[in-house]
Amino acid sequence: MLAHLKTGKTPLWWAARNGHEAVTKLYIATERVNPDCQDSTGETPLWWEARNGHEEVVRLLLDKGARPDVPNSDGQTPLSYAAEFGHEAVVRLLQAHGASSGSL
């Protein structure tokens, strides 16, 4: 599960990026995943799940230790993308786990 391409993309990253909640949950259930794995642009599984509005998977990633304020190379965070795409429940969840509103 820790395998990744030169770009930093792992199976967990791809599952999250493509919105495959069930597959993302399978990877999260293993102990050998890095919830903060970043691709070459700094995007993490949490970043994609927040953008896609998958509240349950966002919660699982946060419970697995994902950091809520990791920005991508453009300075955007999971919180900023959840807000941009109107995912209110995800915004509240990220804030409850310490995401800074300054990252909006």
What's the pLDDT tens digit per position in 57-87? 899 899 989 999 999 999 999 999 999 999 9
Q: Which fold has domain 11-103?
A: 1.25.40
> Alpha-carbon distance 66 to 46, whole Å?
7
The Cα–Cα gap between 87 and 26 comes to: 23
4 pLDDT exceeds 60? no
- CA 17 from chain center: how many Å? 9
Alpha helices by DSSP H, 1-104: 11-17, 21-29, 45-52, 55-63, 78-84, 88-96
**pTM for the complete prediction?**
0.81
> Biggest alpha carbon distance in the chain?
34
If you search the block for the tokens 């903060």, which residue do you land on? 36
And the tokens for 99?
């995401």
